[in-house]
Amino acid sequence: MSAPLLEVRNLTKFFPVRAGVFLRKVGDVHAVDDVSFTLHRGETLGLVGESGCGKSTVGKTILNLLRPTAGQVLFEGRDLGTLSHAEWRAVRRDIQIVFQDPMESLNARHTVGQILEEPFVIHKLGTPEERNIWARDLLERVGLPRSAVSRFPHEFSGGQRQRIGIARAIALKPKLIICDEAVSALDVSVRAQIVNLLLELQHDMELALLFIAHDLSVVRHVSNEVAVMYLGRIVERASSNEIYDQPCHPYTRALVSAIPLPDPGRERDRIVLEGDVPSPIEPPSGCRFHTRCAHAERVCAEKTPEWETVTPWQQVACHRWRELRGEIQD
């Protein structure tokens, strides 16, 4: 198999928590703790988990918007933490991001044309005339009229603004796009349009997508592989079919069982978790899920579970997955 486009190794990001008059450091938010994964050209890795589990922090760290506390991000084999400023600028063309709310990332006082020409201006590409043509081409590519260049973001609906955000992200023909809840705020019918657009662009441009979202049904649909995060750690990784058909981690199982399905009358075994997610400032010892897990035993509180292989397409970090799988099949 070819070398991965993106490789994240033991990525860790702590945010200091300060308190008191002298703002002394009193602890750390363990936002991301020892996260590893790989992503190949043209493929999609879905990163799913609930609010505060650290998935957006992973995205920001890859983009160098945050410095990792420990661990490495390798892009085309190069450690991004060791690049010079100039080298980073070149790499940055290849990694783009699309956010949940395009209004926050699009300059409201700029026309759509200016917004789309900006990446070319920053990287000193083309003449003003060429840039204008490229901006129009981009609009057409994402299904908006070429004439939209002269209008402003607020004149567009949410779905149309997300198309503008995507147009900007693909302007420099990147190799990787990080989609951080990119379709989460959209209505069902619009969401389907944008999902299709992403799949189509991915196919045509051989784009890799890191698709970060809380909605497992959408994540599963766009991804080749899905990683499930809980309290800063990945607890399970699997192909998009396995993750739903045979989840092995008790947290993944709860997550899957909680998704409301548009299928009335279908009987389901729902696992309703008790309580709230514990604080990431002093996360539980051992397996972070042990405080809410119905199957936890002593070892779960004492030892961090190692990665274990279920099938070549599925890995899980749970002490008891083997026994539990037996229980379910009975």
Partner 1 sequence: MAEPVLRVENLCCGFHTEDGYIRVVDGVSFECEAGKTLGLVGESGCGKTVSALAVMGLLPQPAGVVEEGRILFRGEDLAATSHDTMRVVRGQQIGMIFQEPMTALNPVHRVGKQLFEALRLYESGLDKDDLTARAVELLEQVGIPDPVRRLREYPHQLSGGMRQRVMIAMALAGQPEILIADEPTTALDVTVQAQILDLLRELQQERGMTMIFITHDLGVVAEFCDEVLVMYAGRIAERAPVGRLFNAPHHPYTRGLIESLPRMDTPSRTPLNTIEGVVPKLTEMPAGCRFSNRCGYADERCGREVPALESCTERSAVREPRDANGGGDTEAVEPRAARHEVACHHWQRLAA
Decide: is 85 part of the binding site for partner 1 (CB under 8 A): no
Is residue 91 within the footprint of partner 1 (CB under 8 A)?
A: no
Site string for partner 1, 235-254 (x = CB under 8 A): -----xx--x---------x
Burial class of residue 82 in the structure, from the number of CB atoms within 10 Å of its CB (0-12 exposed, 13-18 middle, 19+ buried): exposed
Task: Give SS3 for 265.
Answer: coil
Backbone angles phi, psi at 169, to 5 degrees: -65, -30
313 near partner 1 (CB under 8 A): no
Instruction: Compute the distance between CA of residue 14 and CA of residue 308 in angstroms, rounded to an integer.
Output: 26
300 CA to centre of own chain: 27
Which 170-199 positions form the footprint of partner 1 (CB under 8 A)?
187-193, 195-196, 199
What DSSP line would sit under 203-262, residue for residue?
HHHT-EEEEEES-HHHHHHH-SEEEEEETTEEEEEEEHHHHHHS--SHHHHHHHHHSPPS
State in angstroms the smallest separation of the CB of 263 from partner 1: 6
Alpha-carbon distance 277 to 106, whole Å?
A: 33
Tell me whether residue 119 or residue 159 sits nearer to partner 1 (CB atom). Answer: 159
Interaction mask 18-57, partner 1, x per CB under 8 A: --------------------------x-----xx------
Rounded to a whole number of angstroms, the minimum distance from the CB of residue 192 to partner 1 is 4
Pick one of 12, 105, 132, 217: the residue that binds partner 1 (CB under 8 A): 217
Residue 269 is a binding residue for partner 1 (CB under 8 A): no
Q: Residue numbers of the site for partner 1 (CB under 8 A)?
A: 44, 50-51, 157-160, 187-193, 195-196, 199-200, 214-218, 220-224, 240-241, 244, 254-255, 257-265, 270, 272-273, 275-276
